Amino acid sequence: MKLLDGNYCAQQIRLEIATQVASFKAEGRRAPHLAAVLVGNDGASRNYVGMKVRDCEEIGFNSSLLHLNENIAEADLLAKIDELNADNDIDGFIVQLPLPKKIDEKKVILAINPRKDVDGFCPENVGNLCLGFPAFISATPNGIMELLRRYDITTEGKHCVVLGRSNIVGTPMAILLSRNASPGNATVTLAHSRTVNLKEVCRSADILVVAVGKTEFVTADMVKEGAVVIDVGQTRVSDTSRKSGFRNVGDVDFDNVKDKCSFITYVTGGVGPMTRASLLQNTLKAYRQNQGAHYV
Ligand code: GUN
């Protein structure tokens, strides 16, 4: 079993981007600028957004954090988004999900200018991804593709099972794996809560990507010997033995699954850092586009 080290790969990506940022600055240009909108005080969301802002600082990006009250009216949030859309100094921005229940997430996503949608959540970007046109690709699936690429894991002709059909992970993941590209060219099954014989379906996977948000959902009897297992899950569970009072648990029963795998990610240091690195890559792309470079 080999651990897929997302921390290491993400660090490499940050170094690559930092070099480019240094050259922009040396040419007298401003740095790329990412803004993050955080509504409310959910601990996990605060933590994720905090890490995204720290990543920006590390590589020389400008960043802005808009921390809004959880009782903000939907109309006021939409007005903030309009301001960000209009601000030429901001290349891209994200609105951290989930949002408070009384705010319609769909309306918020639709309000984001697709050219600044570095999360790749807008219909225009999802549609372009499906058609194989240039697009901002959702950071988690894009980060997983980068991890597969950097570890030279062959996907062509393989059976990939994606467990979970969310708009931001499972669905774009299935599209990326099936595209005529490298990595890609896989035969993909998108499995979900209504899939019949889920255990057998998972056991037929050469590559299993798990994004169901249920702790230790995938057990050893669901995994083929030699499979590649990618765990997207990260759920906080109470742990009084820790100073923080919690620990993160993945969607895969790592201790019992790991010895069956050729490659596997761990709940920390796996997919999470790659998601953040992908966001930085998308922001760099938005910057280039904003500065007049081709949309690539
Ligand atoms: N919530 C969980 N993952 C993400 C993400 O990648 N982007 C945003 N905006 N919210 C999230």
At 294, is the pLDDT very low, low, confident or very high (cuts 50, 70, 90)?
low
How confident is the model over 18-31, as a mean pLDDT? 96
The 10s digit of each residue's pLDDT in 167-196 is 999 999 999 999 999 999 999 999 999 999
* Residue of minimum CA distance from atom 7 in ligand 1: 96
SS3 assignment, position 289: helix
Is residue 256 packed enough to be buried (19+ CB in 10 Å), middle (13-18) or exposed (0-12)?
Answer: middle
The 10s digit of each residue's pLDDT in 35-54 is 999 999 999 999 999 999 99
The 10s digit of each residue's pLDDT in 144-174 is 999 999 999 999 999 999 999 999 999 999 9
Pocket probe mutation, ligand 1, options 97, 118, 248, max atoms within 8 Å of Cβ: 97
Side-chain half-sphere exposure of 291, counting CA atoms within 13 A: 15
DSSP 84-117: HHH-TT--EEEE-SSPPTTS-HHHHHHHS-GGGB
How confident is the model over 128-138, as a mean pLDDT? 96
Q: Which of 201, 262, 200, 255 is nearest to 229 (CA)?
A: 262
Q: What is the pLDDT of residue 131?
A: 96
Q: What is the pLDDT of residue 296?
A: 45
Give me the amino acid identity at 27.
Answer: E
Measured distance CA(100)–CA(7) in Å, rounded: 31
What is the reported pTM? 0.96
How confident is the model over 10-14, as a mean pLDDT? 98
Q: What is the CA radius of gyration of the chain?
A: 19
The 10s digit of each residue's pLDDT in 60-76 is 999 999 999 999 999 99
Catalytic annotation present for 96: yes
* Residue of minimum CA distance from atom 3 in ligand 1: 97
The 10s digit of each residue's pLDDT in 239-268 is 999 999 999 999 999 999 999 999 999 999
Which candidate in 91, 96, 224, 281 is catalytic? 96
